Amino acid sequence: MSLDQNEISKLARLARISIADSDTAELSQRIGDILDMVDVMQAVDTSNVVAMANPHDAVQRLRADEVSEINQREHFQAIAPQTADGLYLVPQVIE
């Protein structure tokens, strides 16, 4: 199994990763190899098996509604690519 150019472009689009045309063939092959490898799962009857999302079937713990954070804007924005007036800047977003 290998994915066609279209499928690869769709995945790349969803993942917001630009992919050079020259890389598509190899990528398609490698992803296809993995899909072939995982295909063995399809032979297993799992109709009565409950999906397991977490190893311990544990339950969510709750946090008290109390403010524990302080303003660290300067500290956090010191590592930001681009800011102004306390805002993170990105190329113009058009709705």
Which residues of this protein are in contact with other proteins, per CB under 8 A? 3, 7-8, 11-19, 27, 30-31, 33-35, 37-42, 44, 46, 49-56, 58-69, 71-73, 75-82, 84-95
Q: How far is the CB of 91 from other proteins (least distance, A)?
A: 5
Crossing angle of helices 21-38/5-14, nearest 10°?
Answer: 90
Q: How far is CA 17 from the centre of its chain?
A: 11
Report how far residue 20's alpha carbon sits from residue 18's, in angstroms, rounded to the nearest whole number.
7
Nearer to other proteins, 25 or 34 (CB): 34
- We find the least distance from the C-beta atom of residue 61 to other proteins, in angstroms, to be 6
